[in-house]
Structure 1
Amino acid sequence: MPTSTDVRPAPPASPPSRGRRVALVVALVLAVVLPAQLWTGGAPAGAPGDDPRSATRARSGTATAPREPAARPAPPVPGPAAAPTAGGGAVPAITVEGDRILRGGEPWWFLGYNSFVWSGDCGTDEEKMSAADVDAWFASMRHDGHGAVRLFFYDGWSLGRLDAAVAAARENAVYLAITLDDAIGGCGEDDKDEAWFADASERTVFRDHMTALLERYRGETTIAWFEYFNEPSYAGGALREFYDEMGAAADAVDPDRLFSSGTVAPYWLDGEENFRDVHESPGVDVASMHEYDENEVESNHGPGVRANSGGKPVIVGEYGITAGQGCDLDYGARAALIAEKAQVYTDTSGGYAGALAWAWQPGTGGCDISNLDQDDASQEVLRTFG
C-alpha cells in the first residue's frame, strides 16, 4: 500500500533487502487494442521479462496519529442491532477448495479496486470519501458477482461507515476484502517488526479488533475474506506464528470466515522458503501478491508466488499502472494493459483468482497510479471484462 511519505525500492527477481517504494515514470508500454470489456500512486518499471527497478505509489497515510492500546474503544456487542448481516439480498458465499476460490460452489474470479480513503479515517481532505461517495462508487461497478473491493479498516475507525459500506456492497453484488491493519506503518499504524510481534499487548489489541469484526459480521457473505495485514514482513518467523495464533482465534469465533495473507511476494519475506512457510499456516486460506511491474502482463514474481502458495489460491491484492496527463501511457493504454493482466489473473485453472487495482483515490490527478476515479476507460474494462 503506497503513501506519499513511504518509498521503497521495487525488487529484482532475487530478494533484495526490504525498503520503501521510490518514484519513477514508466519508460514504455506498447498500446494494446482495447476490448469493449474492461485502477492509482506510482510504480516500478521495466520491459516485459525484465526485473522492475523502482516503484512509486502515491498514498497519503498521514491522517491519524498512532493510538495507545489503552485508548481503544470497547468492542461492539454483536447482534441484530450491531450491524447488517446476511439476509435479504445476500450474495452467494465465497469458499476455498484447493487452489481455487469458489462462489456458490463454482470456480470464481473477481476484478476491482483498492481504497484506504473510503471511510474518511485516512487520507488528505481531497482524498477522503463520504458515505454517499462510497454508495455511488459501488453503484458504478459491475453487478454480476465478479466485482470486488479491498477496503482498509483499522482499529478505531468508524464502524458506522463500515456497516454502510457492507450494506452498499451487498446491494450491488460487490464482494469485500477487509484489511485489518497495516504492517508498513500507514494511516497512523505501527510497523510490524519483531518487537511488535513480541509485544503481548499489541497482539491483544489486534485480536480484539479482529474478533469484534468477526462477531459483528458473522454470516455476512458479502465479505469474501478478512486480511490480517497489509504487506507484512517475515519478522524472523514471527509472522507465521502470528497467523497460526490468530487463525485459531478466528476459527473459535467464525470457522467459516476466510483470511488472506496480505503479502507482497517472496522477496518481501526474504525468500521463497519463508513465503511458503507463511502460506502453509492453517490461519491462511488465500495467498496474496502485490505487484507494481507496470508493463509486465504476469508479474515476474507470479510464478514464484504460485509455486510457494502452500497449494492455496493466489490473488493479486494490489497492482498499479501509472497513466494520465504527462505520462507515457494515457488512460486508454492503461485500460488495454489492465485487460491483458485480467486475462492472466482471472485464469482460475492457473491458481489465480482475481486482481484489485490501485487505487480509487479522489483528489489525485495528472500522471499517477491512483487516479482511477477519473479513468473511464479502465473503469469500463473492469466493469465489463469476462
Structure 2
Amino acid sequence: MSDAPGPDPTTNPIPAVRLPGGRRRLVVAAALALVVTIGVVTAVVVSRGPATSPGGGSPGSPPAADGLGTDVPITVDGDRILRNGEPWWFLGYNSFVWSGNCGDSDERMTAEDVDAWFASMRHDGHGAVRLFFFENWDLERLDAAVESAKRNDIYLTITLDDAIAGCGESEKDEDWFDDQGERDAFRSHMTSLLERYRGETTIAWFEYFNEPDFADGRLREFYDEMGAAADEVDPDRLFASGTIAPYSVGEDADFQNVHESPGVDIASLHEYDENEVESNHGPDTRGNSAGKPVIVGEFGLYASESGEDCERDFAERAEQARAKAGAYTTIEGYAGALMWAWQPGPDNASECEYGNLDVDPTVQDMLRTFTP
C-alpha cells in the first residue's frame, strides 16, 4: 500500500480496460479487483481548436516537424529518457483496440482511420501513442501503423500482453507464470516482434504487460528472463514495466525490486486521480523506480461535451490535462504522459467518459500544441 499523501487507493479507484460491448471505463477499487474493459477506436478527424501551434502555421495546426523525425532513437540515461542525446518529453494517447482485433463493429478503425488520426497529431518529435498488440494479432496492421507513425513523426510504444485479462488474454497470476507453455508463447511473441522491427526507431520501447501484479516475486523473475531473451535479439531495444503504481504491486520494496530487473529500462505509473495534478502515487512511484525514468502510461479524466451529469466539460478537461502534462514533463524523474483514450464510437461526445478523446477538439488541440 502506498504511503504517499492523498487518498487511500482503496477509495481512489483505477479504471480497468473493458471487454467489447461498450466504451466507458469501469471503475474498480485499487485492491486489484480490476475488471476487464476494452473498447475500440474508429478515428474521426475533428475540427482543430483556435490555438496557434508552437511550430507555426495556421491556427490549430500541429507543431512543425523538427527535421529529425523518428529516425532518432530513444535512449535512457539514469532517470531521463533522451532523444538525440537531449532530455526528451512526450505527450499523446492510448489506443487499446486500434487494430480491429477486438471491440464492437461500430468502433473498429481501418488502417486509413489510424493514418488520419496520426496525421492530426503533433509532428515535432514529442507526439507518442501507446498501442496494444497481442499474440496472433494482425501484423499487416501493425506494419501500417509503424509506417504511418514514421511519416507523422510520432513515436509508438507497444504493449505485448494484458495482465488483467483484457481482450481475450488470461490473467497473469502465479499459475500463469508457473506455466512453461505460457512463458514460451510470450517469449515467441516478443522475439518475433523484436526480429521484425529490429532497429526500427519509430518504436520507442516495448512494454511487457499492461498492469501486472508482483505475483509473489514471479514478475521480477519473468522480467529478468525476458529481458535476457530480448537482448539476444535486439540489445538496444528498451522495455517498460507497464505497472500501475507501488500499491498495486504489493509493497514499495516489491515495486523497486521489479524495476531493479536488468530487463526493465522504464518504470510505469497509471493514474486516474482526476482532482490532483501529480498523482498522490507519483512520489512513491518515482522514489521506488530503481533510479529509472517514470512514464505515465495512462491518465484519464471523465468529461462530456456539455459537462451535463459529468464533473467536467471538454474545456475543463483540457485545462486539467494541461496541468497534468506540465507536471509529468517537468518534475524530475518523469518523461511524459499518455491520455486514456482514443476510443471512438457513436454519440460519445454526450457521454461522461474517459474514452471520447476522438470527439474532443479542445483536448486534442492542447495535446498538439502543449509545451512544458
TM-score category of the 2 structures, normalised to the smaller one: 0.7 to 0.9
Q: Is the 8 A contact 1:116 1:123 kept in 2?
A: no
Q: Is the 8 A contact 2:317 2:363 kept in 1?
A: yes
Correspondence for 1:379 among 328, 345, 364: 364
Write the distance in 1 (CA, Å) between the matches of 2:287 and 2:72: 29
Q: Secondary structure at the match of 2:296?
A: strand
Matches within 5 A, 1:30-179: 41-42=24-25, 59-60=37-38, 90-179=70-159
Deviations 1:315-373 (A, max 9, x none): 000000000043121000000001100110011x5100000000000106111000000
TM-score (norm 2): 0.83
One-letter code aligned to 2:363: S
Residue of structure 2 in register with 1:216 after alignment: 196
Write the distance in 2 (CA, Å) between the matches of 1:172 and 1:121: 23
Correspondence for 1:332 among 315, 318, 332: 315
User: Structure 1, unaligned stretches of length 5 or more?
Assistant: 1-10, 24-39, 46-50, 63-87
Q: Secondary structure at the match of 1:346?
A: helix
Q: Is the 8 A contact 2:70 2:155 kept in 1?
A: no
Write the distance in 2 (CA, Å) between the matches of 1:185 and 1:18: 22
Correspondence for 1:288 among 241, 245, 268: 268
Summarize the Cα distance change of 1:337–1:383 in structure 2 as closer, same or farther, 3 Å threshold. same
Residue of structure 2 in register with 1:343 after alignment: 326
Summarize the Cα distance change of 1:297–1:90 in structure 2 as closer, same or farther, 3 Å threshold. closer
Q: Is the 8 A contact 1:147 1:175 kept in 2?
A: yes
Q: Is the 8 A contact 1:42 1:322 kept in 2?
A: no
Write the distance in 2 (CA, Å) between the matches of 1:194 and 1:54: 15
Write the distance in 2 (CA, Å) between the matches of 1:292 and 1:139: 27
Summarize the Cα distance change of 1:56–1:370 in structure 2 as closer, same or farther, 3 Å threshold. farther
1:122 CA displacement:
1.3
Correspondence for 1:362 among 327, 344, 357: 344
Summarize the Cα distance change of 1:340–1:12 in structure 2 as closer, same or farther, 3 Å threshold. closer
Q: Is the 8 A contact 1:118 1:151 kept in 2?
A: yes
Q: Secondary structure at the match of 1:155?
A: coil
Q: Is the 8 A contact 1:288 1:316 kept in 2?
A: yes
One-letter code aligned to 2:38: S
Question: After TM superposition, what 4+ stretches of structure 1 lie above 3 angstroms from structure 2?
Answer: 11-23, 40-45, 51-59
Identity score, percent? 63
Q: Is the 8 A contact 1:323 1:331 kept in 2?
A: yes
Write the distance in 1 (CA, Å) between the matches of 2:14 and 2:363: 27
Write the distance in 1 (CA, Å) between the matches of 2:101 and 2:275: 32
Write the distance in 2 (CA, Å) between the matches of 1:230 and 1:108: 23
Q: Secondary structure at the match of 1:367?
A: coil
1:110 CA displacement:
0.2
One-letter code aligned to 2:212: P
Higher relative contact order (CA 8 A, sep 6+): 1
Residue of structure 2 in register with 1:200 after alignment: 180
Summarize the Cα distance change of 1:52–1:262 in structure 2 as closer, same or farther, 3 Å threshold. closer
Write the distance in 1 (CA, Å) between the matches of 2:259 and 2:143: 30
One-letter code aligned to 1:353: A
User: Structure 2, unaligned stretches of length 5 or more?
Assistant: 18-22, 41-67
Residue of structure 2 in register with 1:249 after alignment: 229
Correspondence for 2:168 among 170, 188, 192: 188
Residue of structure 2 in register with 1:71 after alignment: none
1:91 CA displacement:
2.2
1:55 CA displacement:
11
Q: Secondary structure at the match of 2:71?
A: coil
| Paired positions, count | 329
1:295 CA displacement:
1.6
Q: Is the 8 A contact 1:323 1:369 kept in 2?
A: yes
Q: Is the 8 A contact 1:177 1:225 kept in 2?
A: yes
Q: Is the 8 A contact 1:13 1:301 kept in 2?
A: no
Q: Is the 8 A contact 1:111 1:356 kept in 2?
A: yes
Summarize the Cα distance change of 1:158–1:280 in structure 2 as closer, same or farther, 3 Å threshold. same
Summarize the Cα distance change of 1:249–1:143 in structure 2 as closer, same or farther, 3 Å threshold. same
Q: Is the 8 A contact 1:22 1:55 kept in 2?
A: no
One-letter code aligned to 1:229: F
Write the distance in 2 (CA, Å) between the matches of 1:173 and 1:361: 22
TM-score (norm 1): 0.80
Matches within 5 A, 1:306-321: 306-321=286-301
Q: Secondary structure at the match of 2:211?
A: coil
1:116 CA displacement:
1.1
1:271 CA displacement:
1.4
